[in-house]
């Protein structure tokens, strides 16, 4: 297993690829963290920034891989580890009957997660005064790398193929926020129902808190096994600066929604993504995590990645020491609270490839 420190370093600094085409297509644009490539180190797959400004200057270098995708990670000419790139999934070669390549409908994340953005547009993305500054949801759409609305039938078809051809083990369904009070819960529910009819695959849905808590039971009944409602930033000042539109949904509403969702999905099956490095202090992130764990919500803390083309592309990436100062005590808090990444049925917390948190959790357990 790579050390937590090495993963922290790679995710903060990124890596320089001697062959930029190494591995299968990287994540560029899209919702949430992006500009990564999946890299397997000692059997563990992590997402590492490769297209960001820090990555172009990174002291970490990955050689051109051989025909089997095997390569070497080095720093200052000193070899650190053997690495490999997950091979291109077989479902990427298929297309729907109407000619849409499956990879425009869903992507492989890490090595065993199918991920899709059901609706590739957002009420908050059109306006500079409302958009989340870190988000690139419109970039992949503008570049023709995806389609705006994935239908339930398309998602079911792709999910079935990804399980059968590539052994995918769980699915992440995120969405831009549509107009309306459900904030995306309705399209997630109808999409999950269609996937579950086609194939037995655990699903995490990700959306903003809907206006009515009734949506939690409806999403669960439709086949969503785990739910993510993402805070991203945890203090009102940072939320207002970084995500002025989404910050209109108060922290109180998020916590009320978490409290209502946990009894429906189960303790540890509701999670939230927190981007460390946007301005929140380590103390404020940890005190929020403490409150979340107390009510059964898994806080998935991820280092912020400055995505090219977003307003934050020149914002500094957090230092490995800052991330360590959060993840090390957080792993202890999770353990004391009885929450564990491996117990999550589906989603980012279970996948864990965008953060070293699960490595810290394993370390805390020994």
Question: Which residue number, 207 or 260, has a Cβ lying nearer to ligand SF4?
Answer: 207
| Contact string (CB under 6 A) for ligand SF4, positions 72-111, x = contact | -------------------------------------xx-
| Contact string (CB under 6 A) for ligand SF4, positions 161-190, x = contact | -----------x------------------
Please list, residue by residue across 207-216, b when 16 or more beta carbons sit within 10 angstroms of its beta carbon and e when fewer do.
bbbbeeeebb
Selected range binding ligand SF4 among 92-100, 195-203, 304-312, 349-357, rule: CB under 6 A: 349-357
Question: Which residue number, 100 or 348, has a Cβ lying nearer to ligand SF4?
Answer: 348
Q: CA–CA separation, 173 vs 346, rounded Å?
A: 10
Question: Which residue number, 260 or 302, has a Cβ lying nearer to ligand SF4?
Answer: 302
* Smallest separation, CB 5 to ligand SF4 (Å): 19
**Choice from 351, 357, 359, 360 touching ligand SF4 (CB under 6 A):** 351
* Smallest separation, CB 40 to ligand SF4 (Å): 13
In the region spanning residues 47 to 76, those forming contacts with ligand SF4, defined by CB under 6 A, are: 47
* Smallest separation, CB 7 to ligand SF4 (Å): 13
Q: CA–CA separation, 160 vs 164, rounded Å?
A: 6
Burial class (CB in 10 A: 0-12, 13-18, 19+), 294: exposed
Q: CA–CA separation, 303 vs 324, rounded Å?
A: 10
- Nearest CA to 351 among 14, 97, 25, 27? 27
| Contact string (CB under 6 A) for ligand SF4, positions 115-144, x = contact | x-----------------------------
**Choice from 17, 41, 73, 113 touching ligand SF4 (CB under 6 A):** 113
Residue 344 binds ligand SF4 (CB under 6 A): no
Q: Residue 278 CB: number of other CB atoms within 10 A?
A: 22
Residue 207 binds ligand SF4 (CB under 6 A): no
| Chain centroid offset of residue 118 CA | 14
Q: CA–CA separation, 20 vs 18, rounded Å?
A: 6
**Is 194 in contact with 155 (CB distance < 8 Å)?**
yes
**Is 54 in contact with 11 (CB distance < 8 Å)?**
no
Residue 44 binds ligand SF4 (CB under 6 A): no
Question: Which residue number, 260 or 361, has a Cβ lying nearer to ligand SF4?
Answer: 361
Residues in a beta bridge with 232: 274
Which residue stretches of the chain are H helix?
A: 4-13, 53-56, 137-142, 152-166, 185-198, 214-222, 236-242, 251-265, 282-294, 320-337, 348-351, 357-365
* Smallest separation, CB 127 to ligand SF4 (Å): 25
* Smallest separation, CB 172 to ligand SF4 (Å): 5
* Smallest separation, CB 105 to ligand SF4 (Å): 16
Q: What angle do CA 107, 265, 288 make, to 5 degrees?
A: 85
* Smallest separation, CB 71 to ligand SF4 (Å): 20
**Is 278 in contact with 246 (CB distance < 8 Å)?**
no
Binding residues for ligand SF4, rule: CB under 6 A, are 32-33, 47, 109-110, 113, 115, 172, 348, 351, 353-354
């Amino acid at each position: 297993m790579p050390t937590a420190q090495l993963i922290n370093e790679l995710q903060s600094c990124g890596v320089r690829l001697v062959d930029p085409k190494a591995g299968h297509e990287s994540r560029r644009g899209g919702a949430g963290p992006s500009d990564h490539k999946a890299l397997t180190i000692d059997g563990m797959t992590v997402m590492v920034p490769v297209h960001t400004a820090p990555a172009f200057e990174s002291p970490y270098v990955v050689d051109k891989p051989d025909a089997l995708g095997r390569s070497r990670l080095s720093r200052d000419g000193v070899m650190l580890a053997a690495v490999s790139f997950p091979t291109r999934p077989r479902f990427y070669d298929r297309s729907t009957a109407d000619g849409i390549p499956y990879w425009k409908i869903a992507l492989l994340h890490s090595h065993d997660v199918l991920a899709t953005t059901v609706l590739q547009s957002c009420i908050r993305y059109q306006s500079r005064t409302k958009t989340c500054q870190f988000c690139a949801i419109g970039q992949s759409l503008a570049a023709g790398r995806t389609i705006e609305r994935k239908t339930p039938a398309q998602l079911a078809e792709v999910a079935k193929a990804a399980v059968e051809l590539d052994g995918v083990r769980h699915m992440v369904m995120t969405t831009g926020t549509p107009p309306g009070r459900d904030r995306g819960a309705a399209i997630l529910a109808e999409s999950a129902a269609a996937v579950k009819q086609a194939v037995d695959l655990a699903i995490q849905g990700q959306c903003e808190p809907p206006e009515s808590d009734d949506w939690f039971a409806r999403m669960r009944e439709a086949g969503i096994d785990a739910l993510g409602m993402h805070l991203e930033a945890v203090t009102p000042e940072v939320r207002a600066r970084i995500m002025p539109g989404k910050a209109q949904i108060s922290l109180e509403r998020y916590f009320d929604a978490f409290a209502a969702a946990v009894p429906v999905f189960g303790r540890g099956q509701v999670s939230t993504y927190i981007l460390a490095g946007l301005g929140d202090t380590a103390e404020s992130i940890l005190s929020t995590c403490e409150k979340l764990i107390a009510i059964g919500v898994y806080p998935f803390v991820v280092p912020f990645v400055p995505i090219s083309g977003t307003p934050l592309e020149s914002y500094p990436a957090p230092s490995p020491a800052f991330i360590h100062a959060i993840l090390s005590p957080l792993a202890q808090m999770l353990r004391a609270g009885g929450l564990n990444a491996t117990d999550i049925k589906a989603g980012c917390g279970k996948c864990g490839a965008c953060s070293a948190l699960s490595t810290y959790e394993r370390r805390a357990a020994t």
